[in-house]
Structure 1
Amino acid sequence: MTGFESHDELTPLLQEAPSASWSVRAASGRRLAAVAEVPEVAEVLHRLLLDGRDTFVTQETAEALLERWDVLGLRMVLTALASADDETGDHLGAAILNICGQSEEDGERLAVLCSALTSDEDRAVREEARRILEPLR
């Protein structure tokens, strides 16, 4: 596991994720993004991306996943974006711009990741990837 030696080290982060404190949830999402490939963690990250109590949690978690610069991180954000309400969707979109829209090189990297997701098994992910990819072409 990246940055974690054992499941025991993940337990406190998983326990913090449903905290009543927005800052604790946001910090948990940021740290858990490093091990998003762990199925138990992926489920928690999805809930944090769609946090109904504070959009800061949504944006922090999304930015941490996007900072991975991999298909998995972007796929998780696009999955959430496909089912998000308007306000949450705005913050997920802002996270994409904040991380992936800072330079021409970032745009090129985002285009490569989106291209990989245009053939994803999930129709909603494919559509979100195509929607983002269109203006990048």
Structure 2
Amino acid sequence: MARSMCSDPSTCVCPPDFTLCAGLCLKRLDEGGAVSHSEAVTACSALGAHLAVPRSQQQHQCTVDLATGIQVWLGITNTVLAGKYTGFDGCGEVPPAEQHWAVDEPSNPDTQPLVALSTVLEGGWKVGWHDLDDRFSAWPLCQRPLN
């Protein structure tokens, strides 16, 4: 997949309906509501996108802003390299300094290899990243390559 981050934001253009933020083209899909991780992957793929991979504090803030009030799936997993979280953007490991885990997370990385971002404190959710499995539901947050 083409790299989906813009190194020079002044020359970047996102596809229609996507928001440019910190060099990323992002779109939260609200139409289908909260879905499983595999359904979120499929929904983003239908748009020529993958789940969002924030790689800096600024990009993380963009995902937080788009996820206000809900939980969203991120394109980060530890299934490729056990114990290391890699991004769906093809750029390898997400640096540990840029991981924004909720308190006491990751809690079960061996059995919950997927990552979602929560922006609410309710129903056992804490603000930040959570390790989960495909039984959980969250909204897709998609990232597309720049035009």
Classify the TM-score, shorter chain. Answer: 0.3 to 0.5
RCO higher in structure (CA 8 A, sep ≥6): 2
Instruction: Tell me which protein shows more helix as a share of its residues.
Output: 1
Instruction: Tell me which protein shows more strand as a share of its residues.
Output: 2
- Return the TM-score normalized by structure 1: 0.37
